[in-house]
Structure 1
């Protein structure tokens, strides 16, 4: 049975930075929000650490 969280989220996006081992989670209402959160995370990493993200992979889910 599928159910929403108290905040209305139905999906979880987990980003794992293999270089640092850092994990970041985002609660999504719809899957289409994932692209925005991925770009926000990439921008944050590139700004905060003054480096470029070289590769982004996905598990295909």
Structure 2
């Protein structure tokens, strides 16, 4: 197993945790609510994409 899937998995985990933190923090205005929803959604999507890609690289045996 190469390091690339491990690094991508770590970045995906960090993005997922960041997305959850952004979603759960309170917002002071209506604009901030929408901004946090957009940022949180983008971070969660990044986590899902990177996690899926890391899984695919590992399952295909890339670099082996």
State TM-score, norm by structure 2.
0.34
User: Larger RCO: Structure 1 or Structure 2 (Cα < 8 Å, ≥ 6 residues apart)?
Assistant: 2
Q: Which has the higher helix share?
A: 2
Q: Which has the higher strand share?
A: 1
State TM-score, norm by structure 1.
0.36
Q: Which protein shows a greater Rg? A: 2
